Amino acid sequence: MGNCLDSSARVDATLSSHTSGASRVASKISNSSAHSSLTIPSCNGKYSTDGLTTPRSESEILSSPHVKPFSFTELKNATRNFRSDSLLGEGGFGYVFKGWIDECTLTAAKPGSGMVVAVKKLKREAFQGHKEWLTEVNYLGQLHHPNLVKLIGYCLEGDNRLLVYEFMPKGSLENHLFRRGPQPLPWATRIKVSIGAARGLSFLHDAEEQVIYRDFKASNILLDAEFNAKLSDFGLAKAGPTGDKTHVSTQVMGTHGYAAPEYVATGRLTAKSDVYSFGVVLLELLSGRRAVDKGKIGIEQNLVDWAKPYLSDKRKLFRIMDSKLEGQYPQKAAYTAATLAFQCLSSEPKARPRMAEVLATLEQIQDPKNSEKHSQLEHQTNLRTAHKSPLRHHRSPLHLTPSAFPLPAHHQSQTCTAR
Ligand SMILES: Nc1ncnc2c1ncn2[C@@H]1O[C@H](COP(=O)(O)OP(=O)(O)OP(=O)(O)O)[C@@H](O)[C@H]1O
Ligand SMILES: [Mg+2]
């Protein structure tokens, strides 16, 4: 397992707060399409191709009717002056605090009253912070779906950049899978979470103007009180290829351990890069292990390298299953999920299933009797939503990928470990 970082790769030291070693990295790839100004979907009330491919200026993005501009003082009051006991978590982008706002006026409310929100405050030194911040406002100001976190508003005042999201009471999937806690996630919840996340990705990929998420990982899957999954952190999201193009050429950004090998090697991005990352998360759900774990030795540091040989062998699969499940899972379902993960992790992007197919398989695992009908309905609804109005007509969420870091371009390596 090599280290994919080349000399031009940058790693944000602030990311080292993660214990996983699955750090964000960024590097330039030749023909990088990173521009100083953003070219992202426009918000014209319809999810149309025209809208999504039209570059929007910063002021257009920030004047979206779907997100509310907050003053810094308002958010200071809403979070009790960003007090440490309001801290929900920390990522590469910055700190996330719990806050309270009035449900109707959206102004700061007395702590403990009104609506709970999560306020993300950009670290001033965060790498590429402003660009990602704006990308997040742009996408989450336009894309609305039950499996995408809602962006309520933002604050841009002097050097301060903040984002205000709906509060997700169960935090991130990463916390549940890898933190030591009294209650490991049961099998049925793992499948439920994977279905929610697959629905979110499927919605993005099947939108009339495709969106590639580019940062699919356990810490970006947030959970509501019933363990419904919602994707967060759209700072790296990118419009998919249009016309006859098969891919988008771009600066390689993402998180080591989750990014697809061909994308890391060439900078060519397709929706199948997200499918690979989905396979990694599915493997994390099955095994209870992190994508990259520097605390392990040899091949076990990289989950995909270690687990792949066991995925298509019914008799050996139990060896990689999470011991915290204590064998409490249906073997047939586990094997189907493992086979699905194996397909998603194919080194040949074309051999990976589409997210709609992934979703259908997971629904079948969850409910072998009804899934087919449901999946067809869901798919039709998604298509309809995508064609008619991908934009939410009520206020909603945003997300920020904490300083997205470019991954280095590299050769055929399936594993990229940042440090
Ligand atoms: N909307 C939210 N509701 C509740 N908790 C949240 C919300 N958004 C983030 N958090 C908490 O804050 C933590 C940090 O989130 P953040 O997105 O900043 O970093 P991350 O996803 O862990 O890492 P990265 O910087 O690589 O994205 C999350 O793990 C989660 O526990
Ligand atoms: Mg995140």
Q: Could you report the per-residue pLDDT of 252-286, keeping only the tens digit for each?
A: 888 999 999 999 999 999 999 999 999 999 999 99
112 and 248 co-located in one domain: no
C-alpha distances in Å from residue 93, one per residue of 128, 234, 399: 9, 12, 11
What's the CA-to-centroid distance between 89 and ligand 1, angstroms?
A: 6
Nearest ligand to the C-alpha atom of residue 12: 1
- pLDDT beneath 70, residues of the chain: 1-54, 126-128, 182, 370-419
pLDDT at residue 55 in the model: 72
Domain boundary among the residues 338, 366, 394 is at 366
Domain boundary among the residues 111, 134, 166 is at 166
Report the atom number in ligand 1 closest to the C-alpha of 397: 1
Ligand 1 and 170: CB distance under 6 A: no
75 and 35 co-located in one domain: yes
105 and 188 co-located in one domain: no
Report the atom number in ligand 1 closest to the C-alpha of 91: 19
What's the CA-to-centroid distance between 193 and ligand 2, angstroms?
A: 16
Residue 257 placed within a domain = yes
Ligand 1 and 171: CB distance under 6 A: yes
pLDDT at residue 242 in the model: 84
Ligand 1 and 219: CB distance under 6 A: yes
130 and 196 co-located in one domain: no
Residue 273 placed within a domain = yes
161 and 193 co-located in one domain: no
What's the CA-to-centroid distance between 330 and ligand 1, angstroms?
A: 31
Residue 45 placed within a domain = yes
Q: 164, 153 in Cβ contact below 8 A?
A: yes
Residue 373 placed within a domain = no
What range defines the domain where residue 114 resides?
7-166
Alpha carbon nearest to ligand 1 atom 13, residue:
89
pLDDT at residue 254 in the model: 84
Ligand 1 and 88: CB distance under 6 A: yes
188 and 153 co-located in one domain: no
Alpha carbon nearest to ligand 1 atom 17, residue:
91
Residue 406 placed within a domain = no
> Considering its fold, how many domains does the chain have in total?
2
Residue 358 CA to residue 93 CA, distance in Å, equals 30
Residue to mutate, 222, 227, 403, ligand 1, most ligand atoms under 8 Å from C-beta: 222
CA-closest candidate to residue 275, choices 325, 363, 342: 342
Report the atom number in ligand 1 closest to the C-alpha of 169: 4
pLDDT at residue 33 in the model: 32
151 and 215 co-located in one domain: no
Ligand 1 and 398: CB distance under 6 A: no
Residue 402 placed within a domain = no
Q: 278, 271 in Cβ contact below 8 A?
A: no
Catalytic residue, candidates 50, 102, 159, 215: 215
Nearest ligand to the C-alpha atom of residue 219: 1
Ligand 1 and 129: CB distance under 6 A: no
305 and 243 co-located in one domain: yes
Residue 392 placed within a domain = no
CATH number assigned to the domain comprising residue 77 = 3.30.200.20
Ligand 1 and 231: CB distance under 6 A: no
Residue 350 placed within a domain = yes
Nearest ligand to the C-alpha atom of residue 256: 1
C-alpha distances in Å from residue 2, one per residue of 60, 99, 188, 413: 43, 42, 35, 7
What's the CA-to-centroid distance between 219 and ligand 1, angstroms?
A: 6
DSSP at 319: G
pLDDT at residue 25 in the model: 52
252 and 312 co-located in one domain: yes
Domain boundary among the residues 166, 190, 214 is at 166
pLDDT at residue 92 in the model: 84
Ligand 1 and 165: CB distance under 6 A: yes
What pTM did the predictor assign? Answer: 0.81
Ligand 1 and 222: CB distance under 6 A: yes
What is the CA angle 417-30-343, rounded to 5? 50
Report the atom number in ligand 1 closest to the C-alpha of 24: 26
Three-state SS at 183: coil
Task: Quickly count helices (H) and strands (E) in the chain.
Answer: 12, 15
253 and 236 co-located in one domain: yes
CB contact set of 186 (below 8 Å; sequence gap of 6+): 325, 328
Query: Is 12 known to be catalytic?
Result: no
Alpha carbon nearest to ligand 1 atom 19, residue:
91
220 and 357 co-located in one domain: yes
Residue 395 CA to residue 123 CA, distance in Å, equals 26
pLDDT at residue 61 in the model: 86
CATH number assigned to the domain comprising residue 248 = 1.10.510.10
What's the CA-to-centroid distance between 46 and ligand 1, angstroms?
A: 29
Is 230 assigned a ligand-binding role in the annotation? no
pLDDT at residue 394 in the model: 26
Report the atom number in ligand 1 closest to the C-alpha of 95: 18
30 and 51 co-located in one domain: yes
DSSP secondary structure letters along 56-113: --HHHHHT-TTSEE--HHHHHHHTTTT-GGGEEEE-SSEEEEEEEE-TTT--B--TTS
